[in-house]
Amino acid sequence: MTGRRPQVRRAASMDRSPLARRALLATLVAILALLALLVPAGPAHAADDVCVPGPTTGCINGTIRTAAGDPAVGIALTATGPDGEHTVTTGPEGRWSITVTAAGDFSVLLDVATLPAGETLRDPSKNPRTVTIALGSSGASLFPLGAPAAGGTGPSPTGGSSAEPGADTSADAPAASGSGITAGRVAQQFTSGIVFGLLLALASVGLSLIYGTTGLSNFAHGEQVTLGGILAYVGCQVLGMPLLVSGILAVAIGAASGWFQDAFIWHKLRKRGLGTTQQMIVTIGFAMALQYTFQFFLGGSPLRIVTTNPRTFSFGDVIITQQSVISLVIAAIALGGTAYFLIATRTGRATRAVSDNPALAAASGISVENIVRIVWTLGAGLAALGGVLLGLYFNATAWNMGATILLLMFAAVTLGGLGTAFGALVGSIVIGLVSEMSSLVIPSDLRYGGALLILILVLLFRPQGILGRAERVG
Tens digit of each residue's pLDDT (9 = 90 or more) over 64-88: 888 777 778 888 899 998 888 888 8
The string of pLDDT tens digits covering residues 423-432 is 889 999 999 9
Query: 188 and 169: one domain?
Result: no
Give the domain extent around 78.
58-144+157-176
CB 329 within 8 A of CB 37: no
Alpha-carbon radius of gyration of the chain: 25
Query: 384 and 409: one domain?
Result: yes
pLDDT attached to residue 21 = 52
Task: Give 7: exposed, middle or buried? Use CB within 10 Å, 0-12, 13-18, 19+.
Answer: exposed
Q: State the chain's mean pLDDT as an integer.
A: 80
Question: What mean pLDDT is predicted for residues 366-394?
Answer: 94
Say which CATH number the domain at 129 has: 2.60.40.10
Cα 404 to chain centroid distance, Å, stands at 11
Is residue 42 included in any domain, yes or no?
no
Which DSSP string do the residues of 292-310 spell out, in sequence order?
Answer: HHHHHHH-SS-B-SS-SPP
Query: 33 and 86: one domain?
Result: no
What interhelical angle do 322-344 and 18-37 show, nearest 10? 170
**Which residue type, as a one-letter code, is found at position 170?**
S
Report the distance separating Cα 34 and Cα 450, nearest Å.
Answer: 33
318: CB partners within 8 A, 6+ apart: 184, 187, 188, 191
Report H helices in 109-162. Answer: none
Give percent of the chain above pLDDT 70: 81
Report the distance separating Cα 365 and Cα 352, nearest Å.
Answer: 14
Query: 320 and 444: one domain?
Result: yes
Q: Is 23 helix (H, G, I), strand (E, B) or coil?
A: helix
Residue 126, pLDDT > 60, answer yes
The string of pLDDT tens digits covering residues 310-337 is 777 878 778 888 888 999 999 999 999 9
Query: 415 and 301: one domain?
Result: yes
Query: 165 and 130: one domain?
Result: yes
Residue 247, pLDDT > 90, answer yes
CB 63 within 8 A of CB 161: yes
Number of domains present in the structure of the chain:
2
Residue 50, pLDDT > 80, answer no
Q: Is 56 helix (H, G, I), strand (E, B) or coil?
A: coil
Query: 329 and 454: one domain?
Result: yes
CA-to-CA separations, 79 to 54, 56, 111, in angstroms, rounded: 19, 18, 11
Query: 281 and 364: one domain?
Result: yes
